[in-house]
Structure 1
């Protein structure tokens, strides 16, 4: 079974500026430190000849926010791997994301598009959470979607602060 959700995150900045920030290694490191804490890092970052960008993040798993049954499925100390691939388009880029929890029956897949909206832009993300555990997988998926919503909101607040600081000449 799989659970899906769609999010819309608005920015008062053009898509080109938002994409530029979201794929910048300095931004990624700052976001990880601010939102995900000390046990997170950018493990890979590469720019393709056509301008596409791929990076992988290692993030701590917030076990305290998961249902007790889910905690038994995640090996202690394991970090999840989140890989994002951004297309080379500057005006209307797309992104695919895959989140894997090593040695656990969990997978998160997402596709997103960043597009103009009024004077700013919006990222529309379609996300699918799959937990391959009979009987309780759906319950765990719902809990993960709640947690993912909170994380995406925190990351969005960080994005806005970063972009506003950059606009004010703070970077």
Structure 2
């Protein structure tokens, strides 16, 4: 069973400005430094026409994890994540996939970014295939995903203003 999530964030700038940011490799390096400096790294960045593919490795320090997670997977979490974004007219359509190294956990979701002031709508699912405690762990992972999306939003606004 998986736990679904929905989350949205709005930016004080246009979809065009957002696209200009996410199609710049330095943006991703700066984003990781701002949101995951101890564990984050840019693994690859590729632009192909109207699509950008970004692979990162992120992490969560064990001290920031709930006991439900550390009881079954002690230590820091390493999270490979791939995002693909496509520009379609005035809309950016994206897909993200992530996993947790050494654990049966997967995160996937769709991203749609629209509006004169760009609004990103995330819809996704977290699946932790561990009997009895998977649902509890999924809820903890959803909380971490929302926290990360909010931190990425704040860093993006700072970059745009800076």
Query: TM-score w.r.t. structure 2 length?
Result: 0.91
User: What is the CA distance between 1:90 and its match in structure 2?
Assistant: 5.5
Q: Distance in 2 between matches of 1:105 and 1:156?
A: 28
Task: State TM-score, norm by structure 1.
Answer: 0.87
Candidates 142, 146, 151, aligned match of 1:145: 142
Q: Give the structure 2 partner of residue 169 of structure 1.
A: none
Which residue does 1:11 correspond to in 2? Answer: 11
CA contact (8 A) 2:68 2:136 kept: no
Q: Give, in angstroms, the shift of residue 101 of structure 1.
A: 1.3
For the residue of structure 1 that corresponds to 2:7, the secondary structure is strand
| Structure 1 gap segments, 5+ residues each | 166-171
- Give the secondary structure class of the aligned counterpart of 1:81: strand
Tell me the secondary structure at the aligned position of residue 151 of structure 2: helix
Does residue 151 of structure 2 align to residue 154 of structure 1? yes
SS of 2:112's partner is strand
Equivalents in 2 of 1:90, 1:73: separation in Å? Answer: 45
Partner of 2:124: 127
> Structure 1 or 2: larger strand share?
2
In 2: Cα distance, 1:32 partner to 1:25 partner:
11
Residue 14 of structure 1 deviates from its aligned partner by 1.0
1:79 aligns with 2:78: yes
The alignment of Structure 1 onto Structure 2 pairs a total of residues equal to 162
CA distance in 2, matches of 1:133, 1:113: 30
